[in-house]
A and B are shown apart, each in its own frame.
Chain A
C-alpha cells in the first residue's frame, strides 16, 4: 500500500502537476504562497519516495570589490603605467612614469608587477635608476572589459570575457558568490501514481479547528497525516552567544562555591592596577610594550583614599610597618595616578578588600582584561579572566591548595599538580596544572597568598588567598576552537550554529 500524502506534500505535488514542467522551487513556493525552505523540505520528502526528481543548479554571481570598482572606473594600474610610459616616449624612469600615470604609492607595486608579468613593460636598471621600456606594441585588457561589464550591473559574464575571471578573482577585483537553486519536475512515469495519491488524500481534513471541537464534528473527521520523519529545516531563532553561556556557567559554579561577584573598571589608575599589589613602579609589566596606557581625554586619574595611598607608598619605599624591606626606591604619585587599561582582574580584588576588611570573605569576578598585543591567531589584546579571593582567619597554603582543588573540580578537572610560581603580590605563589580531557596537562592558572605589603596598608592582617583560572583556554578546549579570535567571532553563520553545553 502506498503511504498517504501529508497536506503539505499534497499541495506541492498538486502545484507541480499543474505546471507540468521543470520549475525552480522558488516559483513553486510563490505559486503556493509558502516559504521556500518548507517547499524544499517537502520536495525532498517527495523525492525520497521517487515521485519527483530534484536538480540542484549552482550559479555563480560576481560582485566587484572596492578595488575592482575603482579600476573599472579609472583603468588598471599596469595599463595606466603602460600608457604613461608610451606618452613619455616609450621609455621613462619609474618615478616619472608613476607621476605621469597618477598612481598612488599603494598601487605602484601592483602596476609594476603586473606590467612586467603581462609583458607590457621591460624593467631595467640604469645606474641606480629603475627604467621602464615599452615592450608590447599595443595593450588591450579583457580584464578591464570584464570589470566594466560587472560595474554596469551584469551578474553573469559574456563567454568571451570569461578568460579574465580567473585573474579578476586572483587579484581580488571580484568576489564570487555561489548560490544553489533547487529545480524540480515530476519523476518520469509517475504522473498516474501522483494523481491517484492526490485523489486518496483529498478527503482527509487539514486542520483541527475550534468549530470542530465545539460542535463535536471532529468525531467524524479523519485527519490527513503529516510526514513526521522529515529532518527539520535549519532556522535562526534567538539564542545566546556560546562564550557568554560558558561565562554564565562559570558564574554559577562560583556562586555555588560561596563566592560573591564584584565589579571593577577597565580603565584603572596604576595605583589600583599595580601599586596596591606591590608591583614596583619601575616593573616591566608597567612599560608601554606590556600594557595599554590611556592618553586622552585624560591621562591621569586621582587618589581617593589618602590613608591607603600613604600606607602603600610606605611599603614600596621601605616596607612601612610590615617588616618588609620594600623596594627601597622613591614612590611617585605621577606614576600612581597614571591611567591604564587593567592588565588583570586583581585590582578588582583589591577594590573589594578596600570595602570589605572583615573576615570571612569570598569574592570572584569574570571579566575583560587588556594586554598590549597585536591581534592574531594566538594573541589578543583582550581576554577574560576568572579570579577571586578568600579571606579568613587562619588560612594557609594548604587551604589554598584545597580551594584550588574545589574550584578545579567545579569546572570538571579532577587531576591536579601544584608547583611553586612567582607573582609580585603573592607569597607563596602556586601554579596549578590540571589534566584536561582534550588537552592533556595544561596550566590552569596562578594563585597565592597576598603579601603583607598588599594587605597591611588596608589594615587587613588575616590571610587572603587569591586565585585565577585561564577560563578562555577551557572554553576554547570545550568548543574545539584553535584561533583565539573566534572567542569574539564576528561570523554570524558560525554564531548561529555554535552552542555551549557543559
Chain B
C-alpha cells in the first residue's frame, strides 16, 4: 500500500534533518520502502501488517522511535466527552458494531484533509477488507446534536443528500447512482434494512459503509473538532481502525475524547481505548527465535525503538506494553520479530548452516530428465509451453472431446483451461513457425492436468512426454522406431507393445496405442488432415505422447 507524503512535512514531524539516503536506509530497516520521489512528494510502500503506518503521521511516529528521538510507548490521553452513541436493535445480522471518538483542535488544511481521507481509504480497503469488515466516517463535531443513533432503516425511507450532492436521494437511488453506492452498495444491498447513522434530531451523518451525508459528513478546512466513527462486522478490526485513525489525528496536535456506545442488550463500551495491552515474553524465547544473545538493555532498547514499553524482571521475564494502534500482534513471535528489527537486521550476523541432510531428486524428475536426454539424442528440440491454454486448442482443433479443468475467472480465453495433453500445445507451436527451417522435430516433457472425481483436489497431475515431427514427408515407421528406442532406454524392453487405435486426431489406420505392462499409457500416429487444416498447417505431422509414472515406478 502506497502512502504519499510531503517530504518537508514528514521531516518536520520526524524532527530530525535527514538526507533522502538516510531516510531510505531507515525505512529499509523498518519494513518500508521508498517507491518514488518527485519534487517534495515522496511515495512510501507500507506492508499490509502495519496499518498504523498508513499515514505520514504513522510513518513519522515509527521513525521517531526507531531513531531514538522519542523512544518507547507513545501515551495518548483520552478525556471523557460524555457524548453517547445509541445502537438500536436489528443490526446484529447487518453491521453489528460501532466505535467512535472525538478529536478536538486539529489543524486542517487542504493537504491535511487529503491525508486524512487517504488514511481512511487505505485503512478501509486493506484492514477493513474494502469496507466489508470496517468502514470509517469523519464528521463535523460541532454540528452534531448528540446522542448519535445507529439504527436499521428501510431503504425506501432513507433520504439524504450524499456527500458531493446538493439534492436528496432515497436509499435505492444512492446505491444505484452514487459513485460510492455502486462500489460499496453490494455490501448491504441484499439486506432488508440498511444501517443508518443519524443524530438526535434525525439529521443524517451517513449510510455506512457507503457514503456520508453532504451536511454533517463534510469536513472542511474550517473544521477543528471531528467526530470519528467506525462501523463493521468485527469488533477488534473496527477498534484497531479507530485507534489508528484517532492516534494519527492526535499526532497533528488534537486532543482525544471518548464516547460511550450503548448496545440494545445493555452492553456499554467506551471508545476509543488507547491504553496499551500487556503481554509477557521470556529472554529465552527471544534468543530461541532470533539466535541473538542480547543483554537486557539491548532487548529493552530494541523494543522501545519499535514503540513498545518494556521491563525485564530478574527471572528473565520481559513485560511488554503493546501500543493500542498495532493491529498485527497476534503472538509472541510478532513482538520478537520487532526485537530483531529494533536491534537492526543490518547488525545480525548470519550463522554457518549446520543441518546435515542428503539431498536427492524425485524419482519422476530423474525419469523426466532421462526422457529429455533420449529425445535430444534422437534429434528433437525441447520446447516449454504454458500450463494454461485455450479450450479451442485442446479439443475442437484437435478433433477431440477430452475432459478439461476450467478456471472460473480467466483473464482471457487463450489462457483459461489447464492443458490435458501436451500435443495440442506442440501443434500450436509448429503452426506459428511455418517460416522456420524444416524438418521440425520438437518435444516437451511436463505435467498435464485431468479431472478426477476421486482425488482430493478433483484432478490428477500426470507427467507426460510428447514428441512431434513435421516435414515435407513424414514417416510413421520411423517415428515408431524412435519411440521404441526411447522406451527401451527407459528400461521398458519386453514390457511395451503397440496396438491399433481409433482416434479422431489421427488418420484412420495410422495410429496406435502405447501399452506398458498391458496398460494404455500413450499413443502415436499421423495427424488427420482436418486437424492440420484446423491449425493452418500445410505439411504432414507425426507425433506421440506418453504418460510417465509420477511415483517413479512403471
Contact = CB atoms under 8 A, between A and B. Distances in A.
Given A282-B129, A295-B407, 17 more contacts: A258-B358, A265-B459, A294-B458, A296-B405, A297-B406, A362-B355, A370-B387, A375-B414, A397-B289, A401-B348, A419-B29, A422-B47, A427-B331, A452-B333, A488-B385, A492-B430, A495-B381
B388 interface: yes
Interface string B79-98: 00000000000000000000
Contacts of B361: 251, 255, 261
Contact of B418 (A267, A298, A328, A419): A267
Contacts of B406: 294-297
Main secondary structure of the interface of B (DSSP, over half): loop
Interface string B453-477: 1011111010000000000000000
Contacts of B337: 420, 427-429
A396 interface: yes
A237 B377 CA distance: 9
Interface string B125-137: 0100100110000
B448 to A, nearest CB: 10
A418 B129 CA distance: 30
Interface in A476-495: 487-488, 490-493, 495
Nearest to A342: B457
A105 interface: no
B367 interface: no
A105 to B, nearest CB: 18
A313 B126 CA distance: 23
Interface string A358-383: 00111010001010111100000110
A428 B343 CA distance: 13
B49 A422 contact: yes
Given A325-B331, A490-B433, A392 B355 contact: yes
Interface string B323-359: 0000000111110110011000110111111111111
A440 interface: no
Contact of B408 (A295, A364, A405, A493): A295
A195 to B, nearest CB: 36
A374 B411 contact: yes
A495 B426 CA distance: 14
A498 B545 CA distance: 25
A226 interface: no
A129 interface: no
Given A238-B377, A255-B359, A451-B331, A402 B407 contact: no
9 contacts: A282-B132, A298-B453, A372-B409, A396-B288, A402-B350, A402-B352, A405-B350, A422-B49, A495-B382
B345 A406 contact: no
Contact of B291 (A236, A375, A396): A396
Contact of B330 (A251, A324, A329, A382): A324
Given A267-B457, A297-B451, A360 B356 contact: yes
A266 interface: yes
A260 B30 CA distance: 34
Contact of A382 (B386, B412, B430, B550): B386
A151 B379 CA distance: 37
Contacts of B428: 490
B387 A373 contact: no
A131 B332 CA distance: 74
Interface of A: 177, 236-241, 243-244, 248, 251, 254-263, 265-269, 282, 284, 288, 292-302, 304, 319, 322-326, 328-329, 339, 341, 360-362, 364, 368, 370, 372-375, 381-382, 390, 392, 394-399, 401-406, 417-422, 427-430, 449, 451-453, 463, 487-488, 490-493, 495-496
A322 B407 contact: no
Contacts of A298: 451, 453, 458-459
A321 B33 CA distance: 35
Interface in B386-443: 386-388, 403, 405-412, 414-415, 418, 428-430, 432-433, 435-437, 440-442
Q: What size tier do the contact residues of chain B reach?
A: 35 or more
Q: Which 6 A-B pairs have the closest CB atoms?
A: A396-B291, A295-B408, A398-B291, A401-B350, A298-B458, A428-B337
B408 A452 contact: no
B376 interface: yes
Contacts of B356: 258, 360
B362 interface: yes
A469 to B, nearest CB: 16
Contacts of B183: none
A325 B330 contact: yes
A296 B418 CA distance: 11
A422 to B, nearest CB: 4
Contacts of B459: 265, 267, 294, 298
A6 B355 CA distance: 63
B42 interface: no
A254 B407 CA distance: 33
Contacts of A421: 31, 47
B102 to A, nearest CB: 27
B341 A492 contact: no
B405 to A, nearest CB: 6
B234 interface: yes
A238 B330 CA distance: 56
B359 A257 contact: yes
A301 B456 contact: yes
Nearest to A325: B330
B355 A372 contact: no
Nearest to A327: B330
A240 B372 contact: yes
B289 A428 contact: yes
Contacts of B412: 374-375
Contacts of B351: 396, 398-399, 401-402
Nearest to A300: B458
A255 B403 CA distance: 37
Contacts of A395: 355
B382 A239 contact: yes
B554 interface: no
Given A267-B461, A269-B456, A427 B433 contact: no
A403 B357 CA distance: 13
B479 to A, nearest CB: 14
Nearest to A406: B353
Given A419-B28, A488-B384, A402 B429 contact: no
A372 B350 CA distance: 36
A263 to B, nearest CB: 6
A296 B420 CA distance: 14
Interface string B264-286: 00000000000000000000000
A361 B357 contact: yes
Contacts of B291: 396-399
Contact of A263 (B48, B364, B377): B364
Given A293-B409, A299-B408, A402-B353, A265 B440 contact: no
A451 B337 CA distance: 11
Given A258-B357, A360-B357, A381-B388, A404 B345 contact: no
A328 B348 contact: no
Contacts of A293: 407-409
Nearest to A366: B365
B443 to A, nearest CB: 8
Contact of B362 (A263, A268, A398, A487): A263
Contacts of B451: 297-298
B435 to A, nearest CB: 7
Contacts of A429: 337
Contact of A239 (B355, B381, B403, B457): B381
A251 B365 contact: yes
A399 B376 CA distance: 41
B362 A262 contact: yes
Given A329-B234, A374-B412, A495-B383, A260 B433 contact: no
A492 B381 contact: yes
A238 B289 contact: no
B379 A237 contact: yes
Nearest to A271: B456
